[in-house]
Amino acid sequence: MTKRALLLIATLIFTPAAASHGESLLPRSGQKGCWNTAGARVNCNGTGQDAAASAGLKMRLIDGGNGTITDANTRLVWEKLSRDGGVHERNTLYTWDQALAKIATLNTPPCFANVCTWRLPNVKELQSIVDYERKQPAFAKQFLRKCQPGCTVATCSCTPIPAAGSTSGFWSSTTNRIATSEAFQVLNMTGAVAPVAKSATGHVRAVAEPVCARAIVTVNVSYDDPLAQGAGVTAILDYPTDLVSMPGFGSSSSVLERLTNLTGQSGIFSGGDNDSDADGTDDRLQIGLVLGSPSIVAGPFADAEFDCVGPDAPLVSDFACALDASDENGDAIAGGCVAGLRYE
């Protein structure tokens, strides 16, 4: 039995979904319940309420693996917050001027997450990550995960949890035109928008567009059996055809030169593109490592380096990852792989 066989796995391409005819391009509110005028929960059918229509694009928020969360619909990159007392601390309060000063800190080279275009989001951008099904806080669940004391943006995602009756919120860059000494905040408890004096305090979550000179896609592998060890592992990255002009893709001979073995193990390390759907355009990158003994453990597997295309950087959701792994006997190992992304 051969140690390895590269399997052709059905292409799974995850790109921002295009709206069908007549469908709103705005994000969904997230609300799933319906209530009558007395506040009692009712069946949504025929009510005409928000949850009955679920209009708009479903939120698609992806952890970039570098302290950021990317919205696959808007392509906005959001700062994660932490509980480590640093610049990303969730509980730090800022005046409006101090909020802008924090942004300048994030943009000080080498810049947070290697992105130097951070800014204070405008009020509509902030509303795009509110989930109106949630409360205290009312932001999407991806912004509140594993938020334990001492955690960093590499290990958790935090949002301040407001006390009952709290009117604290996140600063926007948008000034109130009726009273220009005020700027709008999106309230943490309810997701409502309120004008607040710029001399008052609020929280800050920075935003950026994905601009880069090159993108580093990091592949991590996992096994269903945590004790499993692979003698041969291949990670297969599917990517949409609008990324095929990236150097290193297609028929370029530089594919292997743009790959980095992160396992710390030596062996036959290889990589190459192929045309999985026979349309004349390569749309899959296969990264393989074969060893003489079972020692490829779960964890970081490989980096793939790509130049960015035009004004838009790729998103982590552009790369669907599938795993083909086997042990020293050639028996399959069940598991999976995920792609992370950072910009340089």
Domain count, the chain: 2
What residues contact residue 247 under an 8 Å CB cut-off, 6+ apart? 254, 258, 306, 307
In single-letter form, the type of residue at position 52 comes to A
Q: Return the CATH number at 197.
A: 3.10.100
Same structural domain for residues 165 and 254?
Answer: no
Q: What is the mean pLDDT of the chain?
A: 85
- Give the pLDDT of residue 209: 85
Most confident residue range from 196-205, 249-258, 290-299 = 196-205
Top-confidence residue, 24 or 136:
136
Helix then strand then coil, % of the chain, to nearest 5: 10, 30, 60
pTM recorded for the entire structure? 0.66
Top-confidence residue, 217 or 123:
123
- Give the pLDDT of residue 70: 87
Least confidently predicted of 50-64, 207-221, 302-316: 302-316
Q: Where among 183, 209, 235 does a domain terminate?
A: 209
Q: How far is CA 90 from CA 71, 140, 153, in A?
A: 20, 15, 10
In single-letter form, the type of residue at position 108 comes to T
Same structural domain for residues 251 and 201?
Answer: no
pLDDT band at 309 (very low <50, low <70, confident <90, very high): low
pLDDT band at 208 (very low <50, low <70, confident <90, very high): very high
Dump pLDDT digits (tens) for 157-185.
999 999 888 899 999 999 999 999 999 99
Q: Where among 168, 194, 209 does a domain terminate?
A: 209
- Give the pLDDT of residue 245: 58
46, part of any domain: no
Same structural domain for residues 263 and 200?
Answer: no
Domain that holds residue 147: 60-209
Dump pLDDT digits (tens) for 77-108.
999 999 999 999 999 999 999 999 999 999 99
Same structural domain for residues 194 and 104?
Answer: yes
